[in-house]
Each structure stands twice: as C-alpha cells, then as structure tokens.
Structure 1
Amino acid sequence: MKYFGTDGFRGEAGKVLTADHAYKIGRYLGWYYGREKRGRIVIGKDTRRSSYMFEYALVAGIISSGSDAYLLHVTTTPSVAYVVRTDDFDCGVMVSASHNPYTDNGIKLMDSNGHKMSAAVESQIEDYIDGKTDPVPFAIGENIGVAIDYAIGRNRYIGFLISLATRSYKGKRIGLDCANGSTFNIAKSVFDALGAKTYVVGNEPNGLNINQNCGSTHIDNLVKLVKEKELDCGFAFDGDADRCIAVDETGQVIDGDYIIYICGTYLKKHGRLDGNHVVATIMANLGLFKALEKNGIEYDVTTVGDKYVNEDMVKNGYVLGGEQSGHIIFSKHATTGDGILTAIMIMEVIMEEKTSLHTLASGMKKYPQLLKNVKVTDKQAILDNPKVQECRKEIEEELQGNGRMLLRASGTEPVIRVMAEADTKDLCEKYVDQMVDVIEKEL
C-alpha cells in the first residue's frame, strides 16, 4: 500500500497528508457508497488544528459525489466505530493521528460493521488518488449530498459507555488524563455519571497540544496525579482514545499486558472467556505469557497492530485481545480498541473482586524490557540484512530462552523498533545497544 498503513493514511499534515488527499478520499467514498442508493458516511475528528481542514475536505468530497456526511465533531475513534454499526451507516471516517504530535494527522476508514476498512477498498482509493482509475462523476441537482450535524450520535455513545457499568463507583477517586484530545469532553462526564470523584488533567486542548507531555504516551503526569491526590487508580488515553494505560494506587503503571492479564483471568474465573483464549502481539512481555500459562489460559500471538488482533479475535470468536500500548478490544462490546471502555472494564473487575488494582496486577511479573527506535530509509533492507540477522541470532542464543530480541518495522514511522527482554535491565541495554550499533553501521 502506498498511502494506507496499519492504522490508516497518516503523516505530516499539509505535507504527507494534504487537504487534496482528503477531498479525493471523500470523493471516492461518496461515489463508492452512493452507487445504488444515497450513501451515509459518518465522520469524527480529534482536537488537532488540522482536523478541521481534513473534515471539511472530506465533507466536500462526499457530498459532491452524491452521498450524505454526518458530523460527530470532536469525538473518539471507538465512538465512530460504535455509531457506524449501531446507526446503519455505510462507512465511518476518523480524522486523527492517534498518539502522534499535533503536526501529524491521519484518516482512518471503517466499514459498516465498525471494523477497519478492507485493504481491497483502500487500494481502490489509492488508485483513485493517483489518477489510475476513471474520474468519479459529480452529483448534480437534487442528487448532491448534504452535511448533517450528528452530535446525537456521540451522546448516544456516551450513554452506551455508562450502561456498561454494573454498579456505582461512588466512593472511588479516579484520575483521568485526556491527552488534550478526543476524550476531553467525554471521559469526565462518563465517570462522574457513574458516581466517581474524578481528577482530570490534559483536558484543555488548543489544537497544538494534543499528546504533548500528556496522555498514555507520557504517563508520568498521571502517576504524579494519582500519588499526590492519593487516588484509587487513574486512566490515561491517547489523542483519539483507542488506547488506555492505567496507574494503580501505588503509582505503578498498568500497561496493556497487565490489562489483558487482569481482565483475562477475571473473565475465565466467571466463565466468560470464550474459547479460553486471549490474543496478544509479538511485542507483549514474556511475563504476560507465563502468567497466562500459570492460570491455564491459552493465547494467540499476532503481528503488531490492533487490526491484526481484531482479525484473529473475529476469526476465532475470542472476546479479549490487545497490545501492550493499551489498545484493548472487548469484542462483546466493541470492534476496536476503546480507552474509556477499557477503563470501565478494569473498574468492573476492581468493584467485583472488592480489591485494589495493585493487588489484581500482582499475579503477573514482567521481564525487564527495553525498546529503541532507529531511523532508517529502507526498513525491509535492514530487516533482511545478513549482519543484522546474524547479530540477532547470536543474542537469542546467549539469552537461552530467558528473554528475546525483536526487530520490527514500524507501520506508521520510518523506523526499525529494536526490543530486548532479559532477566535484568542491564542485559536489555547491552543487547539493544549491540543491535542498534549493527543497524547504524549498515545504513
């Protein structure tokens, strides 16, 4: 794929991803879903300054091709997925670059079931963008589409989240870091409605500060809030809220691996872990796999990307899967990672088990893990390089099964991710630096 990666079309706004790209995507979607009837396409966006530009360009493209555009305005990626499948839309579009800085933006496409758009359709859109297909006709007269305010869809999603809780959170003191992103006007209202006392940071977006030293990728803010206010727990989201990273009452970070362990063992205990399986990715900590095995839970391992986790879950009928980064999918409730939903599911375990988040996480011991990114021009050439492969093999042999060395090409950035797990942090540092040195010499 030329434009669409594992998480949509993403890049620097105005340079890699332009308003013209957005217009053409809208043009093709409007025509594609309006061939037999008037298409219905719902659009959401995050708080980036450029999100308005891309939203309006998409709308212009959609309605000029004869379909209708429904605007959720600033909202979360999972809310778009929810509205698409519950309100009978043909397609959903989210304007966001997730956890990236404000200078980037992206366009994520979803099908009528709220799943990520098929590669086949994305490929057709790419061909249209590049002028490889016949021009799409413009609608005329009464066939021109309309743009419709659909804030009611976002409100219905908020109601859905609140309905998932089986008990009041009264007496619980919860911290929230909204990353100056999509949850700034949603998360607090959900937890307030459930009875919790909430303390919020990262809820003053200005178009330029999304993910800036806040949110799930800068967890120190939430750790500080939880410890200073002596809260029961805290939850941090990323820019479009498809991720959640938690913090327990001691200030320990509870990442996606811990969340899969906590929720997986809870679901198994109550007979709700369909297939006795969870799904994780190759980046999951070895400690997760060992803890799952200890509790008699089986697991599938996919390549990185919640898209691939979801595909495995759908194929096999599993109910829980996710990534260390905080993309957690509860397939009984959602088709994509949903940060607020994940936070509610964690609270459900805390309330049901009548214990603390720290206690729930104590059954899993993580291996020290270190990840470094190396900027490259040709990711595949580095992965295939004989010297790089030889270095990797030597490190794996030295670890003797008590750790691992992982190399992965990023799906969204021009980098190779170098990750090591071992018994100690010093060993991780040694092996990562060793591998990075080899890669940099081969550039």
Structure 2
Amino acid sequence: MTRLFGTDGVRGLANRTLTVDLALRLGAAAAAVLAAEFDGTRVHSGSPRPLAVIGRDPRVSGEMLEAALAAGLASQGVDVLLVGELPTPAVAYLTAQLGAALGAVISASHNEMPDNGIKFFAAGGHKLGDHVEDRIESALTDGVITGPTGAAVGRISRASAEDASDGYVGHLLSATPARLDGLVVVVDCANGAASVVGPRAYREAGATVIEIHASPDGYNINDDCGSTHLDDVRAAVRAHGADLGLAHDGDADRCLAIDASGEVVDGDQIMAVLALAMRDAGELAGDTLVATIMSNLGLKVAMRAAGIEVTETKVGDRYVLERLREGGYSLGGEQSGHLVLPAHATTGDGVLTGLRIMARMADTGKSLAELARVMTVLPQILINVPVDEKAAVVASSVVSAAVAVEEKRLGSGGRVLLRPSGTEQLFRVMVEAEDADFAREVAERLAGVVAAV
C-alpha cells in the first residue's frame, strides 16, 4: 500500500485525491496523535483544551480544506486558530510562540494551483518524523476515533491579519544582522503566501522593494512566476537596475536569487554565501553545513577550500532538519532554495533567507555576483521521468545495470543520482559532469531506461 505522507506532508489534486473527507479525517487523526500527548494549554485564553494553528496559501481549494481540517481537529477537543494566508515558516513560528499542540499548513508549495497539500507541525513548530506520520496514518486508516461531546468539543476562531503577521515580521527583523538601506530588490512573491509579509519585511529592514506577482486571487499562485519560473524576476531586475532579485514559491519556504546582471543564484550558492557569513560571525556550529545528496559537487569543493565540512542527507528539508537537530548544526538546505537556520526558524524560511542574503551584501559591500563566485557550479542535468510505479524502477535490475555503466563512463569527474519524487508520480534522473553536453547525453540515456520500465 502506498504511503499517504510524502516528503512534505499529504499532497494531491484538490477535491480528487485530496478531498474534504480526507482533510476532515486527517484533522481528527492528527489530533488523536499530537494533541493527546500534549500537556500545554492555549496561551492567554484560559482554555483547558490544546490549541492547533492552521495557515494556508491563497489557492482557492485551501478555503474548503481549511474548513474540513479545522472541523476534524475541533471534533477531537482541540481549539483551532485560523491565521489565514501566511508562509509555512510563519505558521511554524506561531505554533511555537502560542504554545500550540500542533500546527498545520494547507499548501502545495511550488505545485500548480489545482494541487494542494496538508502538512503538520508538532509542538514547538517542528516538522514530524516518519514514525509520527505513520502513527497519524494508522489512526486514520485503522482506528475508530471517537470525539468528545458538550463543553469538551474544540472551538474555532480566526486571528486578524495584523495579529498573525506582526509578530512574525518582527521576528524576521530581529534575525537580520544588518540594515539593508541602499539596496534595491525585486521580489517575486509567486502570487502566494508571502505576497504581503515578504515585501513588508524587506521594506522594514531598509531595502527599496519592487514587488511583482504579489496579487493573489486564488487561481494565479505559481502561474509562470515564483521560484520555478524566474524569467519575470530576471527581466524586472534588469529593467529597474536593481541590486538583486528574490523569488519565493507558493508557501514561501524557499528562496532563489538573481544577481544584478540577471544570473541565477541557486540554493547551493546561497548556502555557500551564508555559510561563509556565519563562519565569519562565529555562528556556524562545528564549521559544518548540512546539504542533500542533490547539492552540486561545486558546493563541496568550495566549502572544503573554506575549511567547512559538508554533511549530506536524503532529499527533503525534513531530513535536513533532522540532521541539523541531531548534530546541533546551524545552517542547512537544498539546491531548490529551502534553507534552514535553526537559531531563528524550525523550518525553511524563504523570507529569512532573502534578508540574510542582503545582510551579507550590506555587511561586505559586495554585489551578489561577487559573493556567489565563491562557488563554481558544475553542469548538472535533471530529467523528471513520468512513471506508473516508482517502486518498480527502484527494484529494476535493468536500471541499476545502466547506472553502473554510466558511472563508469563518468569516472571521478561526475556522478549519477536516481530517486523517486516524494510528491509526484515522477522519477528524477540527475547527472553531473564537467562537460554539460556529456552530462545531458548520460541523463537522456538513463531517462530512456527508466521510462521503459
């Protein structure tokens, strides 16, 4: 049986695979697992019941899923605070600040508008481990959950937009080590959850902000914009003569950058820039950076030259978070722009990442292009192959034999990585080599083998 939870919560086509009924039952199951073990109470309310915080991105299906998820939680004696359209990291922050038993975000991140998802945070705003998600899934599929009655039923309330965002923006500003006065930044908000708080935080930190794709209507989230579509932010940087551009995804837990000439600065390069900044400030615990197996080889080379160790995890910011917590490290992330700074956030925070990039620019007086040159990006080709059964590809001896042949061809100057997507019915084929054309040839051959399984 296919596992319900992927690498970032439960995702699917809203009102088809991710239904109102599923959201209702997920809420009840999450309450049974997470709230049952929580001995705190809702702050400032005097309520004896545990609290859940729910936020969402602007996509239209979020409204109905929010209602169903809240009902499921309340049916199990959990008070619910709806904080509206806020970035994923803001919901994690509020979960911790309000002493909530759990938090939930309704979002499909960078996916197209028809998709949606539900991901949970435990008390303290931390993402769930696999074993906790498995317990929620078991409660949903195997158990009969009976809720309380009378006064023990949970209450549902809605926070004002100001109350929900003020504390989060203040927190971001306190985590920014330098004023950003004089910097001009273009911000692509992906018509998503950061459309208000993102530009506001950058402005209050001192930057001059030109915002684009910051008018969500429920339908236009990630629509040819944001961190997966960089053409508009690149063009705007050039047109306005800005110092840089920043692009978020739908729930704003990631950030990619554009330098003043229009070149992309990806998550690996951003990690290199921030790792050096934190090392110089004495903030890089153990002189160690946590990255995933998808990070470019050039990152390892640059960090080795700087005396910084890179420790690798599986793909997914949850695994980066686990390694950060296990090792007591202070910076980790993914090539896609998910960066985590545990001293300031319990999950990836795209707006915080943008603030820290600009703070490094302000502190050093260097352009983003100058800072990013610390790392040379090796050619990396990624092909997403649609498949019927991801497990069949994993088990295929034909695929493993083809990989072995291509690895021999690449030698020590490259590498191959095949992995199933955690959120889509795809198999990802990634090849790195010193020559881009050769990397593409290898990737296309392997993609053909995978597609034939």
TM-score (norm 2): 0.94
The one-letter code matched in structure 2 to 1:88 is G
How far has the Cα of 1:269 moved from its partner?
Answer: 2.3
Conserved 8 A contact 2:338-2:350: yes
Residue 120 (structure 2) aligned to one of 109, 112, 130: 109
2:10 paired residue number: 9
Q: How does 1:163-182 map to 2 (within 5 A)?
A: 163-182=174-193
SS in 2 for 1:183: coil
1:367 paired residue number: 378
SS in 1 for 2:312: strand
Conserved 8 A contact 1:45-1:74: yes
Residue 155 (structure 2) aligned to one of 131, 146, 159: 146
Mapped to 2, the partners of 1:2 and 1:283 lie a distance apart of 23
Q: 1:420 to 1:223 in 2, by over 3 A?
A: same
**Runs (4+) off by over 4 Å:** 34-37
Residue 143 (structure 2) aligned to one of 133, 147, 167: 133
1:379 aligns with 2:390: yes
Mapped to 1, the partners of 2:36 and 2:139 lie a distance apart of 16
1:28 paired residue number: 29
Conserved 8 A contact 1:34-1:66: no
Conserved 8 A contact 1:25-1:129: yes
How far has the Cα of 1:43 moved from its partner?
Answer: 0.4
Mapped to 2, the partners of 1:38 and 1:124 lie a distance apart of 22
1:417 paired residue number: 428
2:218 paired residue number: 207
2:295 paired residue number: 284
Mapped to 1, the partners of 2:323 and 2:32 lie a distance apart of 31
The one-letter code matched in structure 2 to 1:285 is N
SS in 2 for 1:257: helix
How far has the Cα of 1:31 moved from its partner?
Answer: 4.3
Conserved 8 A contact 2:241-2:260: yes
Q: 1:2 to 1:166 in 2, by over 3 A?
A: closer
SS in 2 for 1:400: helix
2:45 paired residue number: none
Q: Give % identity.
A: 39
How far has the Cα of 1:140 moved from its partner?
Answer: 2.2
1:320 paired residue number: 331
Structure 2 gap segments, 5+ residues each: 40-47
1:344 aligns with 2:345: no
The CA RMSD over aligned residues, in Å, is 1.4
How far has the Cα of 1:388 moved from its partner?
Answer: 1.2
Mapped to 1, the partners of 2:74 and 2:395 lie a distance apart of 46
Count how many residue pairs are aligned between Structure 1 and Structure 2: 440
Mapped to 1, the partners of 2:103 and 2:397 lie a distance apart of 43
Mapped to 2, the partners of 1:167 and 1:272 lie a distance apart of 15
2:230 paired residue number: 219
How far has the Cα of 1:24 moved from its partner?
Answer: 1.0
Mapped to 2, the partners of 1:345 and 1:167 lie a distance apart of 8
The one-letter code matched in structure 2 to 1:189 is R
1:122 aligns with 2:123: no
TM-score (norm 1): 0.96
How far has the Cα of 1:166 moved from its partner?
Answer: 3.5
2:304 paired residue number: 293
Mapped to 1, the partners of 2:204 and 2:173 lie a distance apart of 7
How far has the Cα of 1:125 moved from its partner?
Answer: 2.4
- Between 1:142-151 and 1:41-50, the stretch displaced more is 142-151
List per-residue Cα deviations over 1:42-70 (Å, max 9, x = no partner): 00000110001111111111222221001
Q: 1:166 to 1:286 in 2, by over 3 A?
A: closer
How far has the Cα of 1:268 moved from its partner?
Answer: 1.6
The one-letter code matched in structure 1 to 2:340 is I
SS in 1 for 2:228: coil
Mapped to 1, the partners of 2:451 and 2:392 lie a distance apart of 13
The one-letter code matched in structure 2 to 1:407 is L
